[in-house]
Amino acid sequence: MVVRVRGYALPHGEYVDLYADGDRWTTDPVAAAELVAEGWLVPGLVDAHTHPGAENPGDPLDESMLRKHLHEHLDAGVTAIRSPGLAGEPPPWFGVAPDAPRAWHAGPWLAQHGQFFFGWGHRPGLDKLAETAAAQARRTGWAKIIADWGIGDTVIPVDVLRAAVDAVHAVGGRLAVHTQQAAGGAIAVAAGVDSVEHGMCLDPALLNDMAARDMVLTPTLSVIEASLARTRDRPDNPGKRWYVEGASAHPALAAAAAEAGVTVLAGTDSLPHGRIIDEVRALAAAGLRPHDALGAASWSARAYLGLPGLEAGAPADAVIYESDPRLDLRQLAHPLAVILRGNRVR
């Protein structure tokens, strides 16, 4: 079946009539095309921070679990993911299978010895970090470094992280960095990383610098807020005080980042998968305009990954809704149709 969709295309809201010519949209009529949905058209959703393929931290990558998690994303309208860190190297079909989202990944995480989840990632040593990150980015386009971990842990030195940034950029890649400590966030910005992941406890004074250097923030707000609710019930200790303080300030940080001109991407981080709508709603509740909150999971994220939106020649991904989802974000849970690679998948 040749797919045809029409309606008001976001972000601009102009009326379009699109046909799927294989995996590309065209405005030229295609013979025997079937109109599958008409309404408000959103470029296929993106989860820009997700780790599919493992059930628990430290578990090896499981191919059947990977498929399950990707199908959960697709059922939520997610047609592309970025996975800054995987439990192992993915199978060849990852990112290209017709029944699973497009995918970008950074391979296994890179961390310091004694930090991060046991069994996950590589710990190459500071003297080999830049070389290892560049080798990963050469394979996949991305590398991911854990800049900080537990309270009191040594953060990656800024000169080491800057060398990793330079090495990754030299091979045409991008570097994502996990940080949830103020010191790690400051080092990530000073080093000029491409993507700050989580960014909890980041000094808001650094946001203008991030915007000027085209750095993005993926705040994973919904999962941090869910963890905050659980953490409040725990006995008092330094870890609880750190998390409650940082997580409580995180919604305001995400809103301030958008206000400063930082590109904010929507990401859900952990289980269960297929919760991108929760992240969009969390961003809007934090103070982002609904337009920008939805863009963080659609056109803004797709542009960052090099994917055009709803225009001739663009990849044929779309989610169609009965009315403008920006007016009621709850509508994101009820699409009329989901199109991936020119095929209706929901």
Close Cβ partners of 285 (under 8 Å, ≥ 6 residues apart): 251
Task: Give the residue-averaged pLDDT of 245-271.
Answer: 97
- Does residue 71 carry a pLDDT above 90? yes
- Does residue 29 carry a pLDDT above 90? yes
Q: Each residue of 274-289: pLDDT tens digit?
A: 999 999 999 999 999 9
pTM: 0.97
Q: Mark whether 20 and 72 lie in a shared domain.
A: no
Q: 77: helix, coil or strand?
A: coil
Task: Give the residue-averaged pLDDT of 332-339.
Answer: 97
What confidence tier does 205 reach under pLDDT thresholds 50, 70, 90? very high
Q: Mark whether 18 and 108 lie in a shared domain.
A: no
Task: Give the residue-averaged pLDDT of 29-40.
Answer: 95
Q: Mark whether 332 and 246 lie in a shared domain.
A: no
Q: Mark whether 238 and 293 lie in a shared domain.
A: yes
Q: Mark whether 143 and 245 lie in a shared domain.
A: yes
Axis crossing angle, helix 129-140 with helix 158-170, rounded to the nearest 10: 30
CATH number at residue 26: 2.30.40.10
Q: Each residue of 156-185: pLDDT tens digit?
A: 999 999 999 999 999 999 999 999 999 999
Q: Mark whether 87 and 207 lie in a shared domain.
A: yes
Judge residue 260's burial from the number of C-beta atoms within 10 Å of its C-beta, 0-12 exposed, 13-18 middle, 19 or more buried.
middle
Q: Mark whether 326 and 212 lie in a shared domain.
A: no
* Residue 16 pLDDT: 97
The range of the structural domain enclosing residue 32 comes to 2-42+309-344
Q: Mark whether 51 and 35 lie in a shared domain.
A: no
Residue 176 φ/ψ, nearest 5 degrees: -100, 145
Q: Mark whether 186 and 256 lie in a shared domain.
A: yes
Residue 104: count other Cβ atoms within 10 Å of its Cβ: 20
- Does residue 1 carry a pLDDT above 90? no
Residue 344: count other Cβ atoms within 10 Å of its Cβ: 17
Task: List residues bridging with 263 in a β-sheet.
Answer: 216
Q: Each residue of 79-135: pLDDT tens digit?
A: 999 999 999 999 999 999 999 999 999 999 999 999 999 999 999 999 999 999 999
- Give the number of domains in the chain: 2
Over pLDDT 70: what percentage of the chain?
A: 100
* Residue 332 pLDDT: 96
- Does residue 76 carry a pLDDT above 90? yes
Residue 198 φ/ψ, nearest 5 degrees: 75, -75
Task: Give the residue-averaged pLDDT of 253-280.
Answer: 97
Q: Where are the alpha helices (DSSP H) in 232-317?
A: 238-260, 276-286, 290-295, 299-304
What confidence tier does 68 reach under pLDDT thresholds 50, 70, 90? very high
CA–CA–CA angle 106, 102, 177 (5° rounding): 25
Q: Indicate the average pLDDT of the chain.
A: 97
CATH number at residue 239: 3.20.20.140
Q: In what order do the strands lie in the sheet with 45-47?
A: 45-47, 78-83, 102-105
Distance CA 75, CA 273 (A): 10
Instruction: Fill in the amino acid letter for 6.
Output: R
- Does residue 26 carry a pLDDT above 90? yes
What confidence tier does 203 reach under pLDDT thresholds 50, 70, 90? very high
Task: Give the residue-averaged pLDDT of 61-69.
Answer: 97
Task: Give the residue-averaged pLDDT of 183-200.
Answer: 98
DSSP of 172-232, one letter per residue?
Answer: T-EEEEEE-SHHHHHHHHHHT-SEEEE-TT--GGGHHHHHHTT-EEE--HHHHHHHHHHHT
Q: Mark whether 317 and 225 lie in a shared domain.
A: no
Q: Mark whether 127 and 68 lie in a shared domain.
A: yes
Q: Where are the alpha helices (DSSP H) in 7-116?
A: 63-75
* Residue 339 pLDDT: 98
How far CA 210 is from CA of 93, 162, 187, 203, in Å, comes to 35, 15, 12, 11
Task: Give the residue-averaged pLDDT of 73-77.
Answer: 97
Q: 341: helix, coil or strand?
A: coil
Q: Mark whether 268 and 326 lie in a shared domain.
A: no
Of 191, 246, 189, give the one whose Cα is nearest residue 217.
189
